[in-house]
């Protein structure tokens, strides 16, 4: 047997609570091992010290107080239920239940609003992709109308002709 295993069983060995085969193994180990023998002698001294001392008297009314506290705890455990229910009751007593419900409604509405915005963006993107696939509406979709041919007497066309030095205007 190992010392650690024997030291765990020494208290029961002294009190005679070990089965006979285990008690003999512990006894053999203690005869061979000086460390375990010292531990056994210390435990025996401690046992004698406890036997010589008397127990203090129990205070008056101690058993009644103890039983009352035990009944209180038992009642609280039976009536309180799981921690989630106790927390919900605390919310109810402190008025936080209404605040939590209001916060839940606000969060729900906010999530709904964000989902609506996202859906709106996705539908616009799908519309743009469909227009690109058709080839129709590219000018409207991407605002490329400035690349189209300018009218004959538009300001931009006159400016380009003046800057380029060509004069195609009829006098």
pLDDT of 69: 92
> What's the domain count of the chain?
2
Identify the domain boundary among 11, 28, 51: 51
For residue 77, is it within any domain? Answer: no
For residue 19, is it within any domain? Answer: yes
Residue 119 near residue 113, CB atoms below 8 Å: no
For residue 26, is it within any domain? Answer: yes
- Torsion angle, alpha carbons of 74, 75, 76, 81, to 10: 90
For residue 108, is it within any domain? Answer: no
Global pTM reads 0.35
For residue 120, is it within any domain? Answer: no
pLDDT of 37: 92
For residue 113, is it within any domain? Answer: no
pLDDT of 130: 67
pLDDT of 142: 59
Domain that holds residue 144: 135-164
For residue 111, is it within any domain? Answer: no
pLDDT of 171: 44
For the chain, 171 residues long, give each residue's pLDDT as a single digit of tens: 788 888 888 888 888 888 999 999 999 999 999 999 999 999 989 888 888 788 888 889 999 999 999 998 887 777 666 666 666 677 777 777 778 888 999 999 999 999 988 888 877 777 766 666 665 555 555 565 565 666 777 777 777 777 777 655 554
For residue 116, is it within any domain? Answer: no
């Amino acid at each position: 047997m190992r010392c650690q295993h024997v030291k765990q069983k020494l208290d029961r060995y002294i009190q005679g609570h070990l089965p006979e085969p285990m008690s003999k193994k512990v006894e053999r180990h203690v005869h061979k091992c000086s460390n375990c023998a010292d531990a056994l002698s210390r435990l025996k001294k401690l046992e004698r010290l406890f036997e010589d001392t008397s127990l203090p008297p129990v205070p008056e009314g101690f058993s009644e107080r103890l039983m009352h506290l035990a009944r209180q705890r038992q009642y609280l455990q039976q009536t309180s239920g799981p921690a989630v229910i106790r927390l919900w009751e605390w919310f109810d007593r402190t008025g936080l239940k209404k605040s939590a419900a209001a916060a839940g409604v606000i969060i729900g509405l906010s999530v709904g609003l964000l989902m609506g915005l996202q859906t709106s963006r996705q539908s616009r993107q799908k519309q743009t992709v469909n227009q690109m696939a058709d080839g129709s509406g590219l000018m409207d979709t991407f605002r490329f109308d400035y690349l189209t041919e300018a009218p004959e007497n538009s300001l931009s066309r006159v400016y380009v002709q003046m800057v380029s030095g060509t004069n195609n205007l009829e006098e």
